[in-house]
Amino acid sequence: MTMRVKMVTSDINSWISSGSDFVLFRYPQQKDVHAALSDATICLATVADLRQITKGFVFAPFADGEFPIIVFNNPQIATFRQPERKPALTSTSSTESPTDTYSAEFGTFREAVRNGQFSKLVLARTHIASIHSSATDIFFDACTACPNSFVYLFTSKESGMWLGATPEILIEGNNRQMHTVALAGTANGNVSTLPDIKEWDSKNQNEQKIVTDYLITQIQAFGTAKSIVGPNTVRAAHLVHIKTDIFFDINEKDLPQLIAAIHPTPAVCGLPKNEAMRFISQNESAGREYYAGFLGWYDTKADSHLFVNLRCMKWVDNHIVKLMAGGGILPESELESEWNETENKMRTLLNLNSFK
C-alpha cells in the first residue's frame, strides 16, 4: 500500500536517532521519493529463500553466507516529492596513486585471468572518508546529482546504514515480462555528446560482451530473450558505460531461482561464477558485505525493481564512511587505468557537497 505524505528532514532524522529499520529510495528519472519504516524485518540465508516472500524491500549481500538477506516484509510505503538541492560539485581527477595492497591484489587477479583460470574477475577496494552532513542530506544531494540512478538510504540492525546511487538494474518488471541490463565498461563522461559504441576500446567492449552473453545464457534456462537492445553508451552521473537491455518472459514462480542464477553477474564478480566468488573471497581484502549485492522492491504478484548495489558506502560512525568500488580485470587490464576507474566511480558520491 502506498500513500502520499508531506515528509520533512526531521522525520527521517528521528528514525535514524531511534535506531529504526527503514529505507528511502528514488527510482531513476523520477522525482518521487519512497519511504518505508519496517515493523517486520526478516532475515534470509540464501537468494533462493526469496521464495518465502511475496513482496517487500530486499537488501542482499554480494554472496550467500556471512551476511543475511534483509527483507522489510510487506511494509507500508509513503511517497513524497524530492526536495530541490544544489548540484554536486564538478568532478576532479584522481590525485592518489595505487596503494601497495591494491597493486598486489591487482597482480594476483590479472595473473589468474592471464593464465586462463578465469575469463574475467572483478577487483574491489575501499576508501575511508569524512562527511559533514547528515545521512538524510547526503541522500537528497545524491538524488539531485544522479538523476539516472537508483538512489537509496537503507538502515537495519543487521546491516548498519548504507547509501548508494547505482546505475545498474539487476532485474525489473511484472510477474511475467521482465527486463535486465548488461552494464560494463567505464569512462569519464564530462562531455556534451555521448561516445559512439565504436569509440570504446576493445577491453571495455569485451568486458561488456562477457556480461551480456552470461545473462542471455542464464535467462534461456527459464525462458527466451524476446528483445535485445544495444549495446549503447549511457550516462551515470559523471561517468559513461556500455549498456545492453534484455527483455524476456518468465513464470512468476521462477523469479527467485532466476535471481539466484544471475546474481552476482560478471559485471561485479567474474566467470566462471562460483569459482570467481571463491577466488574473490580468498584474495580480495575489501570485505564486500552488501557492496555488489542487490536491493530494491520485490513482488511476485506485481512489479519488481531490483538493482545492483554499486556507487555505495557504509557508515563506520556518525561522520566516517567507507566507500567501495570495483573494476573488471581482463588480460589486457593495466594497474593505473583500473585504479583510476575505481577512483572515478567513488567520485559519484565523493563529489557531493557533503564531502567538501
Q: Which long-range contacts (CB under 8 A, 24 or more apart) does 343-347 make?
A: 343/94, 343/96, 344/91, 344/94, 344/186, 344/188, 344/238, 344/239, 345/186, 345/239, 345/310, 345/311, 346/127, 346/311, 347/91, 347/92, 347/238
pLDDT of residue 66: 87
Q: Is 92 inside a domain boundary? A: no
Q: Is 326 inside a domain boundary? A: yes
At 296-347, the pLDDT tens digits run: 999 988 899 999 999 999 999 989 999 999 999 999 999 999 999 999 999 9
Gap between the Cα atoms of 258 and 241, Å rounded: 25
Task: Specify whether the CB–CB gap between 80 and 33 falls below 8 A.
Answer: yes
> Could you list the residue range(s) of the whole structural domain that residue 201 is in?
2-86+99-355
For residues 200-213, give the mean pLDDT: 92
What one-character DSSP code corresponds to residue 94?
-
Task: Specify whether the CB–CB gap between 238 and 347 falls below 8 A.
Answer: yes
Task: Specify whether the CB–CB gap between 235 and 183 falls below 8 A.
Answer: no
User: Exposure string (b/e) for 295-314, b if CB count within 10 Å is 16 or more?
Assistant: bbbbbbeeebbbbbbbbbbb
Q: Is 93 inside a domain boundary? A: no
For residues 9-29, give the mean pLDDT: 91
pLDDT of residue 191: 65
Q: Is 200 inside a domain boundary? A: yes
pLDDT of residue 140: 94
Domain count within the chain? 1
Q: Name which residue leads in pLDDT, 52 or 89.
A: 52
Q: What percentage of the chain exceeds 70 in pLDDT?
A: 94
Q: Is 91 inside a domain boundary? A: no
The domain that holds 237 is classified in CATH as 3.60.120.10
Q: Is 55 inside a domain boundary? A: yes
pLDDT of residue 268: 97
pLDDT of residue 13: 87
Task: Specify whether the CB–CB gap between 356 and 145 falls below 8 A.
Answer: no
Q: What percentage of the chain exceeds 90 in pLDDT?
A: 75
- Per DSSP (E only), the strands in 98-224 are 120-130, 150-156, 160-166, 169-173, 177-188
Gap between the Cα atoms of 179 and 170, Å rounded: 8
For residues 154-182, give the mean pLDDT: 93
* 244: Cβ contacts below 8 Å, ≥ 6 apart: 181, 182, 208, 211, 212, 228, 229, 230, 231, 232
Q: Is 236 inside a domain boundary? A: yes
pLDDT of residue 335: 97
pLDDT of residue 1 exceeding 60: no
The pLDDT confidence band at residue 289, using thresholds 50, 70 and 90, is very high
pLDDT of residue 4 exceeding 80: no
At 213-270, the pLDDT tens digits run: 999 999 999 877 789 998 999 988 788 899 999 999 988 788 999 999 999 999 999 9
Q: Is 76 inside a domain boundary? A: yes
Please state whether beta strands 77-81 and 2-4 pair in parallel, antiparallel, or not at all (unpaired).
Answer: parallel
At 80-128, the pLDDT tens digits run: 998 887 765 555 445 578 999 999 999 999 999 999 999 999 999 999 9
Task: Specify whether the CB–CB gap between 188 and 240 falls below 8 A.
Answer: yes
